[in-house]
Amino acid sequence: MNEKLFSLLSGIIFGIGLVISGMTNPEKVIGFLSLTYNWDASLIFVMGGAIIVTAPVFFILKNKTYSSLGVDIQLPQKKDLDKKLLLGSSLFGIGWGLVGLCPGPAISSIALFEPLTLIFLISMVSGILINKYI
Amino acid sequence: MYNFTPYSALIGGLIIGCAVILFFYTTGKLAGISGIFASVITSKARRSSNILFLIGLVIGPLCFFYFTKEPAKFEITNSITLIIIGGFLVGLGTRMGGGCTSGHGICGISRISIRSMVATITFIISGMLTVFILQQFGIYK
């Protein structure tokens, strides 16, 4: 029960942060990716602001094996820089640049009742499913 | 840089950081949104709490707009074809590369993961190149 409650609460706070940061607006993200014309550095401040909070806490909690609710902590173990990481991130970057939406803002934009967001999300699901079968 | 909004960006970022920490501290999971979204679709493990996290991502903005009465800005200049291709590549690419802006860009970098740093630099450069090319074709300003 508690895990569900805190998942919901974390999602709500994350969503509020995304809206305040302006990243739910694709135009704003394109502004960041547009290095040569009217560059908008805001996205760096969003990531920086988040990392200022998370980095010290992750450092303090790095040896914990259980969460405060007693759930096993499972962190990514992979260390190698493989082809899949580079190819996948490059493809993600192309999609990000084509629209200006990444998964978080795409989901949060449902709150804006934009039909284009749903088209984006359905295509995203098809990409996820295809990756599972290749 | 007339669109530059450092204060709201920083405040939004700090709030996102708090959400990541709350999520990790209580559930023991990293708030990588592409991973959570994909696991809701492809796996049964902890599905209900993952779904609740995603619902929260929508409720948060709804509450924000309801209480602040601020107009929601959402400008997308692209054709539906590009949106479909873009969505597909975001889904495929984030799963192949194991993360997105939240998973690699925020969680991974703050855990000093080299993989995540390389991934983040890669998708930012690839996104910038994509926008640059679209600008040459007049699709973006």
> By residue range, what is the domain housing residue A127?
2-133
- Rounded to a whole number of angstroms, the distance from the CA of B128 to the nearest CA of chain A is 5
Inside any domain, residue B141: no
Please give the tally of structural domains in chain A.
1
B13 within a domain of the structure (yes/no): yes
Partner-chain residue, chosen from A33, A81, A103, that has the shortest CB–CB distance to B37: A103
The domain tally of chain B equals: 1
Q: Across the A/B interface, how many CB contacts are shorter than 8 Å?
A: 493
Residue B1 lies in a domain: no
Per-residue model confidence (pLDDT) at position B2: 63
- Give domain status of residue B67, yes or no: yes
Mean pLDDT score, A1-23: 95
Structural domain that includes position B45: 6-136
Chain centroid to CA A62: how far?
22
Which alpha helices (DSSP H) does chain B contain, by range? Answer: 6-27, 33-42, 47-68, 80-97, 109-110, 114-136
At residue A74 the predicted structure's pLDDT band, cuts being 50, 70 and 90, is confident
- For residue A72, what is the DSSP state? B
Q: Cβ atoms within 10 A of the Cβ of A73, count?
A: 17
In a domain, B17, yes or no: yes
Residues in B closer than 8 angstroms to A26, CB to CB, are 74-77
pTM of the complete model: 0.96
Q: Is position B49 within any domain? A: yes
